[in-house]
């Protein structure tokens, strides 16, 4: 996700200093005009706005607060935009530590996967001060087609957790429904044409059904990453004493798929959980 986002910023005229724990993306971005940094602290020292895109909460904590981390070069007026999908309470913890150095933070997770990152068409959910959000809005507009400030730091993360519940449960519902139709002998292409403009239609269906019926599951967003997000959902929900029974079932579907060796497939392959139960595949007629 981070590499195509960085490329879009470079193509829009922004000067970048880049750091990554593996060097191949850095090499590619350096070839496109970015300056290398060998630590997160070095990148921060050379930048006014720092953007992080990392797998999970512990990774963000390490890169921001750890040895050679962003906080080591924190100065008043610098801004961290964390675009990772992590636990909102961790975002709030990090923001509080940076505030001690008079450094600002926005949490700004995204939806749209790698295709959205490449096209600059991500949906961006932002938490943080209104003034800082407005200051960073030109950057967000390069990266996304939808940018909404939903509240203070942590609100972006809470919004992303809600998004991930809805996306995964949509795919699961599509899996059940289209497996039923397949078993009844209905062409899934015709079913899609019949229902996608009605109340059952969704962006999820529009994005995933054409790939599912062609059996194309190369990852835009991997099942194992969606499982990480759902784990964060349930951990956060427990802290807020909020029961999420459907999401709890979903976590089990994802765990079963990963045990079945499907963790690196696109999350559209959630339908394969239901296909396996019914001994059928959703595929177009030949």
CATH 1.10.1040.10 intervals, the chain: 159-278
CATH 3.40.50.720 intervals, the chain: 2-152
- Residues 2-152: name the CATH superfamily: NAD(P)-binding Rossmann-like Domain (3.40.50.720)
Q: What does the pLDDT profile of the chain (286 residues) look like in tens digits?
A: 899 999 999 999 999 999 998 899 999 999 999 999 999 999 999 999 999 999 999 999 999 999 999 999 999 999 999 999 999 999 999 999 999 999 999 999 999 888 899 999 999 999 999 999 999 999 999 999 999 999 999 999 999 999 999 999 999 999 999 999 999 999 999 999 999 999 999 999 999 999 999 999 999 899 999 999 999 999 999 999 999 999 999 999 999 999 999 999 999 999 999 999 999 999 987 6
Q: Specify the fold of 159-278.
A: 1.10.1040
Q: Is the alpha carbon torsion for 180, 182, 187, 189 positive or negative?
A: positive
Residue 17, token pair as written in the block: 């200093």
If you write DSSP's letter for every residue of 85-104 in order, what string do you get? ---HHHHHHHHHHHHTTT-E
- For the chain, the residue count is 286
Determine the straight-line distance between the first and last CA of the chain, rounded to whole angstroms. Answer: 35
Residue 131, token pair as written in the block: 């003034």
Nearest to 121 by CA among 147, 86, 85: 147
If you write DSSP's letter for every residue of 216-248 in order, what string do you get? ----SSBHHHHHHHHHHHHHHHHHTT---HHHH
Could you tell me which residues are beta bridge partners of residue 122?
144
CB of 56 within 8 A of CB of 84? yes
Q: Say which of 3, 78, 160, 222 is annotated catalytic.
A: 160
190 catalytically annotated = no
């Amino acid at each position: 996700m981070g590499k195509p986002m960085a490329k879009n910023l470079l193509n829009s005229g922004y000067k970048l200093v880049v750091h990554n724990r593996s060097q191949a993306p850095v090499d590619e971005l350096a070839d496109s005009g970015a300056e290398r940094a060998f630590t997160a602290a070095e990148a921060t020292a050379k930048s006014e706005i720092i953007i992080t895109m990392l797998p999970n909460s512990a990774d963000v904590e390490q890169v921001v607060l750890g040895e050679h981390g962003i906080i080591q070069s924190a100065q008043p007026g610098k801004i961290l935009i964390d675009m990772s999908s992590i636990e909102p309470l961790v975002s709030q913890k990090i923001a509080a530590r940076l505030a001690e150095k008079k450094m600002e933070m926005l949490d700004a997770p995204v939806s749209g996967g790698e295709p959205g990152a490449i096209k600059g068409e991500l949906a961006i959910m932002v938490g943080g001060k209104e003034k800082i959000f407005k200051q960073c809005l030109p950057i967000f507009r390069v990266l996304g087609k939808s940018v909404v400030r939903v509240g203070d730091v942590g609100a972006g993360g809470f919004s992303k957790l809600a998004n991930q519940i809805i996306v995964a449960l949509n795919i699961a519902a599509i899996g059940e429904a289209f497996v039923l139709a397949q078993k009844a002998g209905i062409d899934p292409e015709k079913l899609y044409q019949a229902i996608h403009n009605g109340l059952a239609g969704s962006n999820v269906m529009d994005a995933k059904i054409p790939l599912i019926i062609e059996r194309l599951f190369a990852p835009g967003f991997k099942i194992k990453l969606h499982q990480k997000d759902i784990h964060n959902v349930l951990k956060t929900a427990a802290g807020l004493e909020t029961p999420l029974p459907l999401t709890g079932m979903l976590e089990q579907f994802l765990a079963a798929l990963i045990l079945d060796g499907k963790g690196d497939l696109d999350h559209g392959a959630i339908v394969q959980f239901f296909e396996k139960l019914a001994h059928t595949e959703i595929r177009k007629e030949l």
